[in-house]
Structures are given as structure tokens and as C-alpha cells.
Chains A and B, each alone.
Chain A
Amino acid sequence: MMNYTGLDRPKKPGYFLFWKTMFVAICLLGIGFIYAAADFVDYNWRWEQVPQYFWLDKDLEVRSEAEGDLTKIDKTAAGYTIIIQDGSHEEIVKLPPDANIFLMEGDYVYMGDTIAEYRVSKPGILLEATYVTLKVSMLAIVLGIIVGILTGLMRISENPCLRWLSVTYVELIRGSPLLVQIFLWYFVAGSLINAMLDKIGLDPIPALWYGVFALAIFTGAYVAEIVRAGVQSVHRGQSEAARALGLSGPQAMRKVILPQAFRRILPPLAGQFISLIKDSSLLGVIAVRELTKATREVISSSLMSYELWIACTIMYLVLTFALSVAVQYLERRAVR
């Protein structure tokens, strides 16, 4: 018994094995080519240097910046406090609780002496930047969904003011480059808002938030179109049945139309949000240290551009892949 579903002559089993092997071979060839080419130009791969940019884990020596008597070592739950008396000046050194202290009270300390040693173990710059990318994207996605649903519903409203506002918004956003919108948000809207906040004595809003706004407003326009199409794709009989039962327009929308539209708009929404994660790489231009900007920074100091751009790509792939898995899960669980 063969379980054959195609319309052509059934293929022999060897056919599939051969072409699967072919696929793997092409992938390996691609990678091999990159390595061969790098080898040809004498590129020195240093993959072992990459992990430190994701997780910093090393011994740190603490050296004295003053000269004098070590008068006191205080141990509390928060760590050590060491006081070095230099004439009338007191130099205070704070250390974490797991620090290994080489000196005792009463010792005389010279400038540059090693006082202690401790281990630092913390996220590296690329991991922190990945977190920033994730945070910016998630905030923009949530805001974008809210903006998109509102404007998408405005688009199909009877009220001409709401409808035209929505059309204007969508056309403006879709007709101009995201990069330009980011500049507008930061250098025009942002500087205006921050100047006003300054005038009334409030703290300025950080660049990250202008980045989030730019991405959210940009995505919202596309979400609006997706929501509109989703709502309009629900069969007219559904809203008629709901209204015939006495539900008001908004009630019918909430209970009957939107739940059905939701399932249909999930796949295009997922695509939109994956784009958003990738577009967040533009925020480097307004000094938000997300993954791409951080990668450039690290490369300019370490010069390992091949390894780090590859690592950067992989991090984006991890984020986008996680999002599509999450959406697929939602889709399977979503209302029927």
C-alpha cells in the first residue's frame, strides 16, 4: 500500500532520499564556500571570542586608587566596605560579598596594589541588546495591535470623520519610509516634546520610547488593513444573525465578528510582527542600543565582523522563530 497524494506518476523511494541528500549537500556547500573564501583571504576566525559578548564571566582584580592605612573592613549582607585612610581623605572601596580580599585591617596600601579579586558574571552587550530589541518589539507590537484594531474599525465605520482619519493615517504611514518616520519621531516630534517637558520641568522621554512609537504607529497602519480585511471576510449572515437576535452593533462586533476575524488575521499579523522585529534594527539611528547597533559597536572594537554579523543574524532568527511558534500555538488554541 502506498500513500501517494500527487497527481503524477508515483516517485520511487530513492527519489526522495536522493533529493533530501542533495538539500543537505547544498547547505553544507554554502557554508563550506564561506569558510573557503574566508580562508582564501586569510581571515582568522575567532569564534571562541564570541561568547563573552553574550555572557561576561571572568575574574576582576580590584586595585587601590589611593595610598594609606587600611583602617576598616566592614562586612554586611550587601558586601564589603573597605576604608583606606589617606591623610585626612578617606577612600571607600565597595566590594561584592563573594570578593576575595587579600589585605587585613592595619595594612598599608600603595597605589595600584591589588586589594581583592572577585568574579563577574553578567549578560554581555549582545545579550543586553537582544533584550532591548525584544523589549522594543514587544512594546511596539502591543501598541500596534491597539492602534491597528482601533483604526481598522474606524475604517469600516459609518462616520466619515473616523473613516477619513483612518484612511489618512494608513496612507500617510504606508507612503513614507520607516527610516524617515523614525527620524521624524525622534528629531521632530521627540525634540519638540522633550523641549516642552523641559520647559515645565519634567524629565525628557528616552529615545527608546520614540523608537517604540515610530514602530507601533508604522505597524498599526498595516494591522489596521489586516483587521479591516479580517472583519470584512466574516460572512454577512453572521452579523445579520447577531443583529436579528437584538445585539447592538458593537455587541455583535465583540461577540460574533471579531472572534471569527481573529483566527483569520493571525497568520498575516504574525508576518507583520516578524517584520517589526526586523525593522527594529533601524532604531540604532536614534541611539537605541538594540541588537544591530550593539553588533556594530562590538565589531568596531573587536574587528571580528564575520563572526559577529553571523551571531547577530542568528539572534534575529531566534526571536522571529520564537514569535512564529507562539503564533502557531495561539492559532491552534484560538477559538474555532
Chain B
Amino acid sequence: MISAKNVNKYFYIPEELHALKDVSLEVAAGEVLVVIGPSGSGKSTFLRCLNRLEYANSGSITIEGTEVLDPNCDINEIRAEVGMVFQSFNLFPHMSVLDNITMAQMTVRKRSKKDAEKKGMELLEKVGLAHKYNVYPDQLSGGQQQRIAIARALAMDPKVLLFDEPTSALDPEMVGEVLDVMKNLAKEGMTMVVVTHEMGFAREVADRVVFMDGGQLVEQGTPEHFFTKPEHDRTKLFLSQIL
């Protein structure tokens, strides 16, 4: 599904920074991959390289066999297949909830308004917010907004969903409702790459956990492996701090 090989990413502003160092990773169809690591370790950067919100400097990233780093690829087509959920939701504040979900369907997938709205209402039903279809994002709680953002990503029928700390900006009592939606998606067989600090989620849902530090992929394995016998010292240190 996703294959990253020797991905390197540098930032030059404000100073030169080697943010990703030879990161190689495969994600199989239907797999739930959880990425953990300390702040600034390059988790977001890696995720954003997958749909080219950041352009990796070298290496290879293929999504379903299409090379993302090829300048001539149709990146919009690839992005339509790769849903993304942001830490700060990034809902469109000038659109109603339903319009948030239908806009890209009509613009990118060229669906009719009727089909898009039907799909939109189904997804709202799925995230438990069908009754909010007509309100605007700023009238919703953070948890509700994030569930809408998930529905918006799902509306494109993506082959894979990328989550960048989807619950980090939420008040604690709202974390559960978002994680529940994500758990259901995992159960339905959705391919997911999730950056999160929710170790409970990792333990329960992840097929595989990856630990990143300093732009490198330090260790990977099953959740069981991670939470019982991590190998690297950096992993142990991180887990001891967070658990």
C-alpha cells in the first residue's frame, strides 16, 4: 500500500535541519500503524511527506505503486486517495458541516450534489453527528469537529488515512469519542497511519508500532513487543516518560 525507502528531508529555515534520516517503512493494506516518538522527532514531517505536503529531498515514496516524489505524477489524484486528519482539525469555517464533507467530493471526485450529500449524511451518521449537518464548525466542540474532519477525509473513499495527533488538541473528555471512531474504522479494515501519544489506543488497535527519534526510525514491532520488552534505550526512556 505505502512504501517509503530511504526518505530524507531537510529544512533550511530557520537553520539547516536533517528532519528525516533515511526513513524506510512499509504499510500493508488493512494495517493500522501507530507512530510514536518525542516531540520534534519528525513524526509529522514523515506523515506529511507521504502525501507530499512536505516534499522529501531524497528517497522514494510509493502509494499503491505510484511514486509520489516523481514531479510529473498527478499529486492531486494521489492525495484524493490518501485522507489526512490534522491535529488542529482544519475544518473550513465558512462552510456548514455538510458542505465541508461534500465540497471535495464534488470538486475532485466530480460527484453530483445529490450523491455527495447522500454520502455525507451516511458518514455523519457513522461519526454520530448527523443532527449537526447544518451547523458551522465553530458551533461544535473540538471532539465533534475532529469527527467531522474524519468524515470529510472518508468522503473521498481514501485507500489510506493519515492521522497526525488527532486527539492532542482536545480536552481530555473528548478524546474518547474520537478514538472510538478511529477504532471502528480500524475494525472495518481501513489502512491507517496514526501519529499519537495515546498509548492505550496503540496497545488496543495497532497492528504495528513504530518509534521515531531524532528523525530516525529507531524501533518497530507489535504493540506487545513495545510495551513489554522494548530493545533500544531511547525507546525505553521515551516509554518510561510517557507511561
Contacts and interface: CB of A to CB of B under 8 A. Distances in A.
A40 to B, nearest CB: 59
A238 B91 CA distance: 7
B233 to A, nearest CB: 35
Interface stretch (A88-96, A242-250, A273-281): A242-250
Interface of B, secondary structure class, is mixed
A316 B235 CA distance: 72
A260 interface: yes
Contact of A246 (B90, B94, B108, B149): B108
A237 B88 contact: yes
Given A245-B79, A245-B152, A240 B90 contact: yes
Nearest to B109: A246
B93 A245 contact: no
Contact of A248 (B76, B83, B103): B76
A245 B90 contact: no
Nearest to B79: A246
Interface residues of B, number: 27
Nearest to A262: B94
Contact of B80 (A245, A263, A335): A245
A336 B90 contact: no
B94 A336 contact: yes
Identify whether the interface residues of A are mostly helix, strand, loop, or mixed: helix
B90 A247 contact: no
Given A241-B90, A241-B92, A246 B104 contact: yes
Given A240-B53, A251-B107, A246 B92 contact: no
A184 B79 CA distance: 50
B204 interface: no
Q: Which of A244, A255, A263 has the most CB of B within 10 A?
A: A244
A50 B104 CA distance: 60
Interface string B220-242: 00000000000000000000000
Contacts of A260: 92-94
B156 interface: yes
A319 interface: no
Contacts of A251: 107-108
Interface of B: 51, 53, 76-77, 79-84, 86, 88, 90-94, 103-104, 107-108, 136, 138, 149, 152-153, 156
Interface of A: 235, 237-238, 240-248, 251, 255-256, 259-260, 263, 335-336
